[in-house]
């Protein structure tokens, strides 16, 4: 009888541990691990590049998190002022955490590189970059 009680206590303990493990939550680490890099060239707010950049950044944030591997390159569709972009998150991140990280990366870019024709932000689990010229990483 004593061994049956011990076994039941052990099973209940294991079930409680399993239940608490499933309740563990994590958040995207949005700490900047390197300095945000800025291109030295600038654009005016009225420049057509501003619209191209807005398009590229919106597409990177919308598509990258749901893409297999969280890795995406894009180009703006406006031929008078192309903007090129790349974003990536660690493949193990959830879609929501990738989105959160990319938003933080974009915020870091604009706090350091506002109106620059190129910039890159590398956070702990994601990166985002845009330029006025084609590139690969």
52-61 pLDDT, tens digit each? 999 999 999 9
For the chain, where are the alpha helices, taking DSSP H only? 2-22, 48-63, 95-112
Phi-psi region of 70 (alpha: psi -120 to 50; beta: other; left: phi over 0): left
Claim: this prediction has a pTM higher than 0.85: no
Window from 12-16, 43-47, 65-69 with minimum mean pLDDT: 12-16
- C-alpha 90/C-alpha 18 separation (Å) is 26
Q: What is the pLDDT of residue 125?
A: 93
- C-alpha 22/C-alpha 25 separation (Å) is 8
**Average pLDDT over the chain, rounded to whole?**
85
Domain boundaries, the chain: 27-131
CA distances from 84 to 23, 52, 54, 74, 105 (A): 40, 9, 11, 6, 16
Q: CATH fold of 27-131, please?
A: Killer Toxin P4; Chain A (3.30.430)
62-119 pLDDT, tens digit each? 999 999 999 999 999 999 999 999 999 999 999 999 999 999 999 999 999 999 999 9
Window from 4-13, 34-43, 48-57, 96-105 with minimum mean pLDDT: 4-13
For residue 126, give every residue at least 6 positions away whose Cβ sits within 8 Å of its Cβ, in sequence order, or none: 28, 70, 87, 88, 89, 90, 93, 98, 101, 102, 104, 105
């Amino acid at each position: 009888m004593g061994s049956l009680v011990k076994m039941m206590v052990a099973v209940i303990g294991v079930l409680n541990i399993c239940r608490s493990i499933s309740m563990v939550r994590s958040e995207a680490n949005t700490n900047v691990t390197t300095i945000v890099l800025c291109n030295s060239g600038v654009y005016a707010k009225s420049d057509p590049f501003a619209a191209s950049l807005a398009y590229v950044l919106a597409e990177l944030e919308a598509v990258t998190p749901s893409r297999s591997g969280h890795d995406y390159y894009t180009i703006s569709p406006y031929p008078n002022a192309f903007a090129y972009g790349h974003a990536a998150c660690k493949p193990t991140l959830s879609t929501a955490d990738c989105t959160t990280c990319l938003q933080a990366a974009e915020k870091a870019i604009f706090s350091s590189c506002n109106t620059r024709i190129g910039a890159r932000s590398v956070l702990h689990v994601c990166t985002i970059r845009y330029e006025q010229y084609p590139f690969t990483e």
